[in-house]
């Protein structure tokens, strides 16, 4: 190869490389095709639920692990919470949601169900499900968290099934729940 042809070829290659590098730096990065879903954060206050703390923590962890667009977090002391959880001597009950940010529902974790042999963690997760907008599905199998007491005292499942997960995801899709009021009905989980 002649020296002049080699220099011309090398110069062209260098110019192409430089042009490509400059264009790559100047071009905007491609838009990401997957946008992050909006997550609705709901705070809960369990300061009046003495004796239920570990069951509540496990119920919250179950929901947080199984739904993507809602996150339940413990409210800082003295701040308003969307979900107020209290311990009572009666049957578990809750206001039927879906609770919206800035709204408020009440969950009562009743010791009467525990004294009859029902699992505390399942009770807590079930009642949180009401706050998130899920009604009872009684009678139902143990695999349905919202079947509640109809699954029997031997049922300890505290994980929402795929249908229950999808329903909550739908209720909170695109943060639309911020515009919807909670149902307001109290769901008493006695048989």
The set of catalytic residues is: 127
**CA atoms of 23 and 17, how far apart (whole Å):** 10
Structural contact between residues 145 and 121, judged by C-beta atoms closer than 8 angstroms: no
**CA atoms of 129 and 147, how far apart (whole Å):** 11
Q: Which helix (H) or strand (E) holds 130?
A: helix 120-131
Which tokens go with 36?
């992050």
Please state the φ and ψ torsions of residue 9, each to the nearest 5 degrees: -65, -45
- Cβ atoms < 10 Å from Cβ of 68: 12
Structural contact between residues 99 and 131, judged by C-beta atoms closer than 8 angstroms: yes
């Amino acid at each position: 190869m002649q020296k002049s042809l080699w220099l011309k070829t090398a110069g062209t290659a260098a110019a192409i490389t430089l042009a490509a590098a400059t264009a790559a730096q100047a071009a905007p990065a491609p838009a990401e095709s997957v946008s992050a879903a909006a997550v609705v954060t709901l705070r809960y206050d369990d300061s009046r639920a003495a004796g239920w703390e570990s069951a509540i923590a496990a119920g919250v962890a179950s929901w947080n692990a199984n739904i993507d667009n809602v996150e339940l977090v413990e409210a800082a002391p003295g701040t308003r919470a969307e979900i107020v959880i209290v311990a009572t001597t009666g049957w578990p009950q809750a206001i039927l949601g879906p609770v919206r940010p800035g709204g408020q529902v009440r969950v009562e974790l009743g010791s009467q169900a525990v004294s009859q042999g029902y699992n505390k963690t399942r009770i807590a997760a079930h009642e949180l499900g009401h706050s998130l907008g899920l009604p009872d599905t009684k009678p139902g199998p143990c695999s349905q968290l919202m079947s509640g007491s109809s699954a029997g005292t031997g049922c300890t499942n505290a994980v929402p099934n795929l249908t229950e997960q999808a329903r909550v995801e739908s209720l909170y899709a695109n943060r639309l729940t911020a515009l919807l009021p909670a149902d307001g009905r109290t769901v008493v989980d006695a048989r």
